[in-house]
Amino acid sequence: MGGNVLIVFVKEPRPGIVKTRLLPALDPGAAAELYRALAEEEIRQTAPRLGEYTRLFFHAPPSSPQAMSAWLPGETFVVQQGADLGARMSAAFEEVFRRGARRAAIIGTDVPWLTRGRVAEAFGALDEHDAVLGPTTDGGYYLLALDRPRPEVFRGIAWSTPSVLASTEERASALGLRVRMLGELPDIDTIEDLRAHWPRVRPLLEGRAVVDAVARALER
């Protein structure tokens, strides 16, 4: 594995382990199906063109490789390793650079409007920067790109809080890294996020049984 590598953090769309912040507004089954739809759209949107980059899917929980392969056939899966999100991301970067990546970026699966063009922009920005961040509207980030393993970037961050982006930027600056900031994108984590972006999310659910359940939840 060489060149640019996109790390995709993905979960098995199992009821009760994905989109838990949407509970109890949605039941666990509906939340899981919503997650599946959002993830599939982001995976489709970030599919690379020949030679742009390769993708490696780091999955959780660790017991789900067969389920992941059945859901996303033909992709390469690696189990996420680490005690918290920062440790898991740091380990993923270490792994892809160990496999020969020249540059790497990481994304989750909560931003279905993230595109391959934005990913390619991040990789291109590493020509003149050490790190690239794609901010979300809730104070986190949808993408982090690095020119080499930098485990210190992930230390001392209060994960899953509105300060993640600011803390990461401060940490990078303290380390003397040149940071490029991409355009902001919203993610879908809460019922308020879903309500705010329902006109853009609903088309992704057409033909799925979950669309009516989500619509009813948003009317309450």
Q: Which helix (H) or strand (E) holds 60?
A: strand 54-60
The arithmetic mean of pLDDT across residues 4-31, rounded, is 96
Strand partners, 4: 103
pLDDT of residue 2: 72
State the chain's mean pLDDT as an integer.
95
Residue 49 DSSP one-character state = P
3-state SS, residue 142: strand
Confidence of residue 92 (pLDDT cuts 50, 70, 90): very high
Cis before 24? omega within 30: yes
Q: What is the pLDDT of residues 128-176, one digit of tens each?
A: 999 999 999 999 999 999 999 999 999 999 999 999 999 999 999 999 9
pTM higher than the cut 0.75: yes
The residue ranges of every structural domain in the chain are 4-219
Q: Give 205 or 62, the one with higher predicted confidence.
A: 205
Instruction: For residues 133 and 123, give the distance between their C-alpha atoms in angstroms, rounded to a whole number.
Output: 11
Cis before 61? omega within 30: yes
pLDDT of residue 65: 85
The arithmetic mean of pLDDT across residues 90-99, rounded, is 98
Instruction: For residues 60 and 203, give the distance between their C-alpha atoms in angstroms, rounded to a whole number.
Output: 27
β-pairing, 77-79 with 4-11?
unpaired
∠ Cα 122 52 47 (to 5°): 85
What proportions of the chain, in percent to the nearest 5, are helix, strand and coil? 40, 20, 40
* Domain 4-219 superfamily per CATH: Spore Coat Polysaccharide Biosynthesis Protein SpsA; Chain A (3.90.550.10)
Look up tokens 């996303």; give the residue: 72
Instruction: For residues 51 and 106, give the distance between their C-alpha atoms in angstroms, rounded to a whole number.
Output: 18
Q: What is the pLDDT of residues 48-84, one digit of tens each?
A: 998 899 999 999 998 888 899 999 999 999 999 999 9
3-state SS, residue 113: coil
| 106 pLDDT higher than 90 | yes
**Percent of the chain clearing pLDDT 70 (strictly above):** 100
Reference 139, options 113, 117, 119, 157; nearest CA is 157
Q: Look at 88-102, 129-143, 204-218 and tell me which has the smallest mean pLDDT.
A: 204-218
